[in-house]
Amino acid sequence: MNRNKYCMAVMCMLLFSSNIAVAGPWSWIKDRATSMWLSYKRWNIPRPRLIEHQMMELGGKKFEGFRYDLSNDDDAVRMLRKKLHISGIYLANGSDVDAYKKYLQQIPMPEQYIQNGFDINLDNSISGCMERLFRQMGSQLIMFDTSPVEAAYNQIFWELEKTLPSDFDNDSSGQKFIDLITQTLPKKDETNKRDYVIGHYLNLWKDYSLRFKHNPGLIKAIKRYPQLKMFS
């Protein structure tokens, strides 16, 4: 069994790393091989488990919070959380941070989340956490790495995308994906540079996604932006 898995892994790596230009179905074969390889290496990555979802109003100000189970975190996930301050607690975009701080004065944060990077004074919104994670992922060519670090990126990213509202699933145009990515970028970037970064981040989203891997809206969004292709 182990030998068969090893052979499949080697075959997939050879297929999608090859630069041979062959007419016909070669691109399709490489795409399928890449998909098989990614599915194979992600099989044992823990799926995020939401343990608390709050929608509250304090003093006329509203916030929506999400808290995920940390019991399946390994050392690589814990280190990445601490480095990026993505602790497994997220605020929905548009939540009132002052109201959330007031709430935490009444019900303190569990220590395990503080140990894993939570800081009330940082941006714990979904877009803020995505910005830090995308910036880190985009700076490293690790898409086809099988290390624990790669699995950590997947695990945390799956938490973030699971937290997004259901209207992302029904976004046939892809505009919601684009809007969220745009929120993660500095406003001072040049337009051409922003377009390439948006395209790059949308591709990262599709490559790492669990929830939106085959979402037609995300695929349409990707096609609207210039692409930086790693393989041809």
Q: Distance (Å, rounded) from C-alpha 187 to C-alpha 111? A: 35
26 and 130 belong to one structural domain: no
22 and 94 belong to one structural domain: no
176 and 148 belong to one structural domain: yes
pLDDT of residue 95: 96
117 and 167 belong to one structural domain: yes
pLDDT of residue 226: 78
| Domain count across the chain | 2
Mark 127-152 as b/e (b = at least 16 C-beta within 10 Å): bbbbbbbbeebeeeeebbeeeeebbb
Q: Which range marks the domain in which residue 96 is found?
A: 50-223
What pTM, to 2 d.p., does this model score? 0.79
Examine residue 205 and state whether it is found in any structural domain, yes or no. yes
34 and 57 belong to one structural domain: no
pLDDT of residue 74: 95
Examine residue 230 and state whether it is found in any structural domain, yes or no. no
CA atoms within 13 A on the CB side of 20: 11
22 and 124 belong to one structural domain: no
Give Cα 63 distance to the centre of its chain. 22
pLDDT of residue 6: 52
166 and 119 belong to one structural domain: yes
User: How many other CB atoms are found less than 10 A from the CB of residue 2?
Assistant: 6
32 and 67 belong to one structural domain: no
pLDDT of residue 30: 61
69 and 33 belong to one structural domain: no
184 and 123 belong to one structural domain: yes
Examine residue 214 and state whether it is found in any structural domain, yes or no. yes
Examine residue 231 and state whether it is found in any structural domain, yes or no. no
Examine residue 10 and state whether it is found in any structural domain, yes or no. yes
28 and 54 belong to one structural domain: no
Examine residue 206 and state whether it is found in any structural domain, yes or no. yes
79 and 144 belong to one structural domain: yes
The pLDDT profile of the chain, 232 residues, written as one tens digit per residue, is: 455 555 555 445 544 444 444 445 665 666 666 666 666 667 789 999 999 999 999 889 999 999 999 999 999 999 999 999 999 999 999 999 999 999 998 888 899 999 999 999 999 999 999 999 999 987 765 555 557 888 999 999 999 999 999 999 999 999 999 999 999 887 766 666 888 889 999 999 998 999 998 999 999 999 999 765 543 3
Examine residue 232 and state whether it is found in any structural domain, yes or no. no
Q: Given the DSSP bridges, would you call strands 89-91 and 50-58 parallel, antiparallel or unpaired?
A: unpaired
Examine residue 72 and state whether it is found in any structural domain, yes or no. yes
